[in-house]
Structure 1
């Protein structure tokens, strides 16, 4: 089916009744496509809990969906018109709506891949403007009938590439094929990751491994496919592969070690997103496990990027590997005349009603030692949410202990130091022979 048309045929069609029917068909096709697109988006938003269409993606789907639906309806309408008479107005509308559908489809794919937190970056917006300008420029060249001349010019204009001559048309086709396949691969990788992250029956580490491996595989296939479409012999990549292997072996050891360590961490499940860990001097919650590094967010909001090879080669304390419960303790010193047997149960009762403190295992109080200033007591308890921090909870516990000590008139001893003052004239401690020399 060709989309070319004659402006003279279009002008002659203005004077007959079929022009009205074609205009009505175009308007009805656009209205029907808008209606169908809104119904589909509304249904998808209603099914967002099952992962069909997310609510935050609805505003991206509608601008992309209705031009595609309108193009399909117009194409079917044009085929029906051509059985009885010419349809130059529909032939004109098809490339216009098709160009709009292409622009909106590329915008949708790019924003699904590169847009973060609902905001498009400046580079993405600039690329979208350039792409839209190229598409509309190509449409203008097509409508003016200059498209065959442009194709012939690009085909006969060659650029020297080594010992060979490559036409501009081949170069543009290669760039277009590489860009299209990469965008499609990135989009499929993003969709695959979203779907895997919603599968609750698979461990989070395994889901991350499958998502990362799937995206890397799709990108590799897209690059190889695009090179084949561009007419590049894949056997020339053997030299590049050898050089890359030497470079990895010599200069990229740490990076490759981090990447391999990332997959090892995810596969052996020694650490997962949400765990509370201690690595070297860092303590916090694991928020991201990427192929090269892991992000640990401390309780004061500071995020630390730790290379994965450090997590493999060094010791890591995982406070929530098999059990998320964490023991917390606070100490207090009381006077030696304190009745320990009566005060320990009261300290336990004082913290039983505090939120976040587990009752199984229950809080416990211990006499841990005999200090220089008094008896050293410890009140220990367990919590199930260490990611929420311990500062506020310890403050509540210490205030409860202070109230009990005040109610029981129990004295907290102060640190005491004995100072002795020497009286009288200081006496020489030098031996007689040295004293005579000094005189």
Structure 2
């Protein structure tokens, strides 16, 4: 599954890990001896002095620079983020600038070779600064740290001109499986390549998703479906390109993935069912973000459509994660599927001595006095029953904002009815029981 990577030539690099280790020790010994030379020691002292000055300047400039960024009201968000990235590494940036200034001055005043060590320190600090700043674009903290540490390590090795030896050392640590040879160097290549491709795919997917969400010609369901398709396509392409770039044979992977897929299919039936149900929901547009739905005792609006579940937020702030399969197989009431109009019914009763014609007119005017009740769809009021103690009515009215709640609008209309009936002396009866106490002689006479 992995193509054999060419081993280093015998004349260029050591042939085994022991020779490489001895070479590294020898170079380290020579490096320490070089530091003991007077002018090299002076350069190390100069670098320490520059670091102290950079620390003091960063301590003094940091709060002022941060306050200056906060006061830039007209700046776009991306520019503020770039400035904040610079602020977080202010000391290292100042150290790099001062180091290059001192190196330029030394090369102009003294021999250029005398600033070689200080120039190397400045180059190393510059590489570290670029890696630390650019990795801030990676949102995942674990991935960001891994890429940062690997980048710092490889940048340090490159500045010290030890890449060939390090590559040979990593390539010498390998495991052989028949014709397949897996080395640490190959694994490092695969990890770095995959990380770079996945980060690039994520940035492209995020940019495409933002543009799709701003496209008003596409419905919310089509936007979600297109975003998920782009994400799956980009991540899959990045994964397979990363494996291919390090010599991974995808033919063997196809056979292996088929066998694994059959085994996982039995254990992940619910997960696959939810994934397929999510695609069906997006295709038939039965629900979309922003719709107000009822499912059992859950009433709320759809916050987001996920690959496995739908996020429904209720009026009391609870967020229910409903599996997609439940929305396909269960009975769902979509209050805003084709339109946002919702009709609500209220039941009430008045006394028999109140004129029904007057009661109906007062009830309709009371409903229209509530702000959320639609005026173009006029409320209606009908008698539905002659009860034991009251004439029963139904009041029907329309609203166009179910997301703002149903119970509260019903309460407002009931309160308007109460005020209107009180103003016009319309009584709302309630069941009453009359108990009469008969005198004892009356009871005996009846017997």
Match status 1:190 vs 2:206: yes
> In structure 2, do the counterparts of structure 1 residues 62 and 204 end up closer, same or farther at CA, with 3 Å as the change threshold?
farther
Distance in structure 1 (CA, Å) of the matches to 2:287 and 2:235:
27
CA deviation after TM superposition for structure 1 residue 53, in Å: 4.2
CA deviation vs aligned residue, 1:292-321 (integer Å, no higher than 9, x gap): 211111222222212212222333221111
2:245 is aligned to 229
2:374 is aligned to 358
Match status 1:412 vs 2:440: no
Higher relative contact order (CA 8 A, sep 6+): 2
Q: Identify unmatched segments of 5+ residues in structure 2.
A: 1-30, 43-49, 55-65, 104-111
Q: Contact 1:45–1:53 (CA<8 Å) still a contact in 2?
A: no
> In structure 2, do the counterparts of structure 1 residues 363 and 90 end up closer, same or farther at CA, with 3 Å as the change threshold?
farther
Match status 1:345 vs 2:361: yes
1:246 is aligned to 262
1:109 is aligned to 137
Aligned residues: 387
Match of 1:324 among 320, 323, 340: 340
> In structure 2, do the counterparts of structure 1 residues 61 and 140 end up closer, same or farther at CA, with 3 Å as the change threshold?
closer
SS in 1 for 2:333: strand
Distance in structure 2 (CA, Å) of the matches to 1:169 and 1:322:
58
Q: Contact 2:220–2:289 (CA<8 Å) still a contact in 1?
A: yes
Distance in structure 2 (CA, Å) of the matches to 1:97 and 1:57:
17
Distance in structure 2 (CA, Å) of the matches to 1:153 and 1:145:
14
SS in 1 for 2:338: coil
Match of 2:403 among 387, 405, 409: 387
SS in 2 for 1:311: helix
TM-score scaled by length of structure 1: 0.72
Distance in structure 1 (CA, Å) of the matches to 2:82 and 2:418:
54
Distance in structure 1 (CA, Å) of the matches to 2:225 and 2:419:
52
Match of 1:168 among 184, 192, 214: 184
> In structure 2, do the counterparts of structure 1 residues 131 and 156 end up closer, same or farther at CA, with 3 Å as the change threshold?
same
Distance in structure 1 (CA, Å) of the matches to 2:204 and 2:39:
47
CA deviation after TM superposition for structure 1 residue 254, in Å: 2.5
2:126 is aligned to 97
TM-score scaled by length of structure 2: 0.71
Q: Identify unmatched segments of 5+ residues in structure 1.
A: 1-5, 16-22, 28-37, 79-84, 115-123, 428-439
> In structure 2, do the counterparts of structure 1 residues 356 and 60 end up closer, same or farther at CA, with 3 Å as the change threshold?
farther
